Structure 1
C-alpha cells in the first residue's frame, strides 16, 4: 500500500433535457476502443449478474482514509470482495483532510491510479482539458446496472447537467432513487426543555431560540459550528450551504458560480438571495448568538465546545449526531441532542433536487491503457451500482454481519456489530473492524436500502423531509474546451473572492452597506463576463436539443 498524506460540491439537474446515457459519441467508436481490452471480463454480463473476473486482477485506486475508520488493507470487506470478484486493489490511502489536494496533484501530474472515487462534481472539470481523465459516458453501455438505474429512476436529466460541450460526462456519480437530505442542525433538547423553548422549525425561529439561550447564558455563544475546514477557503462551509438552499441560492459547500434564476443564469455570489444569507449570519454573529470561530475552527474545536456545554447548537448529520454529538455530551448529566428537521426559509417547505446524485468515480487515462479495462468497468458496475454490490459494500456478508433482506423489511444488523445508532453498545464496529460503509464504496441506491441504515429517529426525520416539495435545478451550460479554460480561471478567482468577502461581511469586518461595491468588484474579476459566457453556452446547448 502506498501512503500519501477530501471533498467538493455536487450538482445535478431537473429533467430539462435528456441526453443519451452513453454520451453523444459513444457506440461503435467506444466499442472499437475496447476490443483488445477485454481480458478478465465476463461475456454477456447483465443486470443481476454477480461479477467475477475470469482471472485474478488488481486495479490501482485512491482510497480515502477516514480518521474515524482509517483504511486497512486487511479489512474483511476487501478480503471477501476479492473472493467474490477475483479483484483486489493496489491502494493509495490518503487521509481525508488531504484528499482533494492529493487527487488534484496526482491527476494533474499524470500519476493518478486507475480508479479515483470520492470525487464531487464539478471537480472533474479541472482535469478534462488536459486529457487526464476519461469521458466515462463513452463506456457506460458496458455497465448494465448503472444504465438500468439511470433509466428506471429517470436520471437522464441529472446526467445531462454534468455533460460538457462535447455532450459527454467525465464522472460516474453515485445514484439515488429519490432526494435525500442528511445534514441539518443538532440542538440540545434538554436545554430547550429546561427553558420551555419549542424546537425551531424556521431559520427565523432558530434566531429567536438562540436569543433566548443568550439571555439565559449571557457569557456563551449558544451556536458554535463545525465543518468549516473541509472545503477550500474560509467562508465555504456547510452552514452557509444549508441556509443558501433555503433562500433559493447556493453557497458554502454547495456554491457554484452560476445560478439558474428566472430563465437565465446569474452570478450566485451577487444574488440578493445570497446577500440575505450573509445578512442572516452577520446578524447572528453581531448579536453573539453564533460563535465567529464557526467559520474557521476545526471540527474538534467545535465538538469540544459542544461537549463542555459552552454551546448548545451544532451542525450534524445522521452519523455524527449518534457517533459524535451524543458521545461528546455523555458526561453532562441529563444532556440530550437531536437532529431537528432542516429549518425552512423563504423557499418554504422545499428541497433542492441536487441530492439525487452523489460523489462518484473518475477514471484516469491509465485505466484505458489496461487490457482489463472492460473487466474494470464491469467490476465498478457491480460494486457501486448493482443492488447486490451496494448491499455488500454497505452491510457486508449475509449471515455474518447481517441477516434478512432490505426488500421485505427483515434486515437486521448483527447485534454484536454497531453502526451509527444501530446496536450502539456492540463490541465490534462495522466500519472500523470490518471496512463496510467505509466512505469510498457505499453511496447511492434505492430508498429502501437507504432506509435500512436509519434508526427509528432518523426514519422520522426522513419522513418529515419527504413531505417537502422537490425543486427543479437549472439546465446545463456546457462550455467548449476553449471556453472551459477561460471559465475555469474566472471561476477560481470569483469563488475565492466570494468566500473571502462572505466571511468579511459575516464577521462584521466589512459593512453590508458596501454590498453594491462588492458586486462591482466581482464583475471586475470577470463575473459579468462569466455569466455572459454561461448564458451563451446554455443558448447553444438549448439549440442542439
Structure 2
C-alpha cells in the first residue's frame, strides 16, 4: 500500500531510518567549506580561465515543501555546497493541507513555482496536457548522470504522456536490502515486558495481547485512560489505504498499485478488485474485532496523523497501526518526558489465513514511485541551470552528500571502502533543529537503492549501523528478549523483494469515462469500511458485507479492473519492444 498520500517520503525516511528530520546540521565549525567533497562530473576549466558558473547571478527558486524550520537552503551546510557549485538557492515555502488539491488549484490559476512536486500521475497528466510541465528531452544530452541513474525509469516515465516525452522524475526508488522493515503494529515495550515478551504474529494473538494490555495498563502516569490501538483513519489515506492494508502482509500482493480501486496480484501478474480482495475483507474484520473488544480508539475514525502521533508521544496508546515512520521521534519524546520504558517497537501482524498459508511476505522494491513526481514548470526562468543541478544530484557524489552529509564530518570511509556514520551524524539525525540539510534536498532525486559499490547512499542504511541510529538501548533490549538479533530480523527471515516494474505507472487517462467509476468505487469503499468495522457481531458484519457488495456491483467495477489489466498488457508489450 504505500501510496499513502502525504506520507511516502516519510515512509522512505523510515526505510532509510535516520533521515527522520527534514534537515540535519552542525555547529558550522568548518565555515561552510566543502571539506571532503570534490566534484566528480562537473565541467572542468583550464588554468587561467574563469568557470562560467562563477559569473552567473544568484538564482533563487521557490519550492513548496521542505522544512518549516528552514527558510532558505543556504542556511544549511549542504545548501551552502549547492550554492558554491551552482549559485542556486531554494526558498522553502511550508504548506499544510491537501497537497493534490493545492496542486490542481495552482494549475487552474496558472500560479505554480518553477519546480513542483506532484504526488499522483493523474495530476501530473493534467499539468502535461495543460502545457504547464516542461519537456526535459532537449536537456538529456547534457545530463549524462541523470540519464544513467534513471536509465530504466526514463522510458517508463515517458509512458505517462501522450507524446512520450519526458516531463518528470520520481524520488524514492528502493530495493529489498535497504527497505526490509514492514510497517505493521507498534507496541509499547513495557506492555511486552509485562506479558513476558510473547511471539506476536496472528490477528488473534494481537487481540488477546491488547485485551490483556488494557487490563494491565488502564491509565497513563498522568491519569488518562489508555487506548488499545490508535489509528489515523481521519487522514485521506486512512480509510482509503491503511484500513485494508492487511493484504500486503501475505505473500501475493504489495501496495504497488496505491490506494485506488485495484490491488496488484504478483502471483498472477494482474490487477484485482481492491474491495473484494480476501485479505482486505480480513483486514476489516480484524478492525471490527478490535472495535467490539473496545481496543480500537473511538476517535480513530476522525484522528489525523498529528492527533495520532500525540497519543503515541504521551504513551497513551498501547499500540499504533501502520503509520509508524515517526517512531524514532516518538521514542525520543518519551525519553525526554522521563518515560523510556514506554517506548515503541514495530512487530509483525498477519491475518489468521496468512499465518496458515505461511507464504513469504512480499516487500515492494520500487522501480517507479508515482506518488513522488517532480516537474520543472514552464514558469522556470532558467531550466538549463536546474537540469545541471539535477544532473549533479544524480552522481554518486551528489546522492551521498544529499543523503549522508559531508565526508570526514558526518561519515568516514574505512579501509574496505565502507562509509561509517560519525557520532555527529547520529546526534544530528535526532536533532529536530539541525541544519545540515540531510533529507532536505530529496526533491532533486533520492535513490534508496543499493549503489554499484554495494552500499546505500544513506550511510544510516548500513546494516551494521541501522539499529544504532534508529533504536535505543531500551528498544534493543526488547528485541533481544524477543529473540531478535536486529530490529528487522523477522522480515529478513520471512520476506522477499518484489519489483514494482511498470505497475505504478498504470493509471487511466484523467479524461477516460471510467475515471468517474473508479472514483466512485474508492468513495464507496471508504464510506462503507467504517460501517463494517463497527458491526456489532459477526452476523451483522456478514449482512452488511452482502448488502455492500450488491450495491458495489451496480457500479460495474469489473469494467475498471479490466481496463487496468488492458493498459498493463499494452504497456508491457510496448516496453518489451
Question: Aligning the two structures, in what range does the TM-score lie when normalised by the shorter sequence?
Answer: 0.7 to 0.9
For the residues of structure 2 that align with 1:137 and 1:295, how far apart are their CA atoms?
Answer: 46
For the residues of structure 2 that align with 1:129 and 1:516, how far apart are their CA atoms?
Answer: 41
Is 1:373–2:372 an aligned residue pair? Answer: no
Partner of 1:506: 533
Is this contact kept in 2: 1:62–1:92, CA < 8 A?
yes
Please state how far the C-alpha of 1:270 moved relative to its aligned partner: 2.7
Please state how far the C-alpha of 1:49 moved relative to its aligned partner: 0.8
Partner of 1:7: 6
Is this contact kept in 2: 1:402–1:413, CA < 8 A?
yes
Is this contact kept in 2: 1:133–1:365, CA < 8 A?
yes
Structure 1's 445 and 489: CA in aligned 2 closer, same or farther, altered over 3 A? Answer: same
Is this contact kept in 1: 2:246–2:279, CA < 8 A?
no
Partner of 2:262: 258
Is 1:50–2:50 an aligned residue pair? Answer: no
Equivalent residue of 2:170, what SS?
strand
Q: Deviations over 1:359-388 (max 9, x none)?
A: 544324416x75x333322311322x3221
In structure 1, runs of 5+ residues without a counterpart are: 1-5, 11-46
Equivalent residue of 2:566, what SS?
helix
For the residues of structure 2 that align with 1:366 and 1:281, how far apart are their CA atoms?
Answer: 47
Partner of 2:392: 382
For the residues of structure 2 that align with 1:104 and 1:147, how far apart are their CA atoms?
Answer: 29
Residue from 464, 467, 471 that aligns with 2:498: 471
Partner of 2:520: 493
Is this contact kept in 2: 1:136–1:363, CA < 8 A?
no
Structure 1's 435 and 531: CA in aligned 2 closer, same or farther, altered over 3 A? Answer: same
Structure 1's 50 and 406: CA in aligned 2 closer, same or farther, altered over 3 A? Answer: farther
Structure 1's 177 and 527: CA in aligned 2 closer, same or farther, altered over 3 A? Answer: closer
For the residues of structure 2 that align with 1:508 and 1:162, how far apart are their CA atoms?
Answer: 44
Please state how far the C-alpha of 1:349 moved relative to its aligned partner: 3.5
Equivalent residue of 1:297, what SS?
coil
Please state how far the C-alpha of 1:490 moved relative to its aligned partner: 2.8
Partner of 1:81: 82
Aligned length: 486
Mean alpha-carbon deviation: is it higher for 132-141 or for 280-289? 132-141
Structure 1's 435 and 471: CA in aligned 2 closer, same or farther, altered over 3 A? Answer: closer
Partner of 1:418: 427
Please state how far the C-alpha of 1:102 moved relative to its aligned partner: 2.3
Partner of 1:363: 375
Partner of 1:224: 229
Equivalent residue of 1:339, what SS?
strand
Residue from 166, 171, 174 that aligns with 2:168: 171
Is 1:327–2:327 an aligned residue pair? Answer: no
Q: Deviations over 1:140-199 (max 9, x none)?
A: 565333332345xx6679x47974565566531125351314534322112211222414
Q: Deviations over 1:396-450 (max 9, x none)?
A: 3334555447982343335387244xxx5xxxx3764333323744732343235
Equivalent residue of 2:435, what SS?
helix
Partner of 1:189: 189
For the residues of structure 2 that align with 1:134 and 1:491, how far apart are their CA atoms?
Answer: 29
Is this contact kept in 2: 1:8–1:231, CA < 8 A?
no
TM-score normalized by structure 2?
0.71
Please state how far the C-alpha of 1:231 moved relative to its aligned partner: 3.2
Is this contact kept in 2: 1:478–1:538, CA < 8 A?
yes
Structure 1's 361 and 334: CA in aligned 2 closer, same or farther, altered over 3 A? Answer: closer
For the residues of structure 2 that align with 1:462 and 1:401, how far apart are their CA atoms?
Answer: 24
What is the 5 A alignment of 1:100-499? 100-117=100-117, 119=119, 123-134=123-134, 140=140, 142-151=142-151, 159=156, 163=160, 167=164, 170-176=167-173, 178-179=175-176, 180-182=179-181, 183-217=183-217, 222-231=227-236, 235-236=239-240, 239-240=242-243, 242-247=245-250, 248=252, 254-261=258-265, 262-315=268-321, 320-328=326-334, 330-331=336-337, 333=339, 335-345=341-351, 346=354, 348-358=359-369, 360-366=372-378, 370=381, 372-383=382-393, 385-404=394-413, 408-413=417-422, 415=424, 418-420=427-429, 429=431, 432-438=434-440, 440-441=442-443, 443-447=446-450, 448-449=455-456, 452-454=459-461, 455-456=466-467, 458=470, 460-462=486-488, 464-467=490-493, 468-473=495-500, 476=503, 478=506, 481=509, 484-499=511-526
For the residues of structure 1 that align with 2:134 and 2:555, how far apart are their CA atoms?
Answer: 31
Is this contact kept in 2: 1:188–1:336, CA < 8 A?
yes
Is this contact kept in 1: 2:330–2:343, CA < 8 A?
no
Partner of 2:551: 521
TM-score normalized by structure 1?
0.74
For the residues of structure 1 that align with 2:138 and 2:261, how far apart are their CA atoms?
Answer: 28
Structure 1's 273 and 86: CA in aligned 2 closer, same or farther, altered over 3 A? Answer: same
For the residues of structure 1 that align with 2:180 and 2:390, how far apart are their CA atoms?
Answer: 26
In structure 2, runs of 5+ residues without a counterpart are: 10-38, 44-50, 220-224, 472-485
For the residues of structure 2 that align with 1:430 and 1:411, how far apart are their CA atoms?
Answer: 22
Is this contact kept in 2: 1:129–1:485, CA < 8 A?
no
Is this contact kept in 1: 2:232–2:305, CA < 8 A?
yes
Q: Deviations over 1:239-285 (max 9, x none)?
A: 43652311455679941322334354332123233212111111111
Q: CA RMSD in A?
A: 4.0
For the residues of structure 1 that align with 2:74 and 2:386, how far apart are their CA atoms?
Answer: 21
Structure 1's 521 and 382: CA in aligned 2 closer, same or farther, altered over 3 A? Answer: farther
For the residues of structure 1 that align with 2:442 and 2:365, how far apart are their CA atoms?
Answer: 20
Equivalent residue of 1:172, what SS?
strand
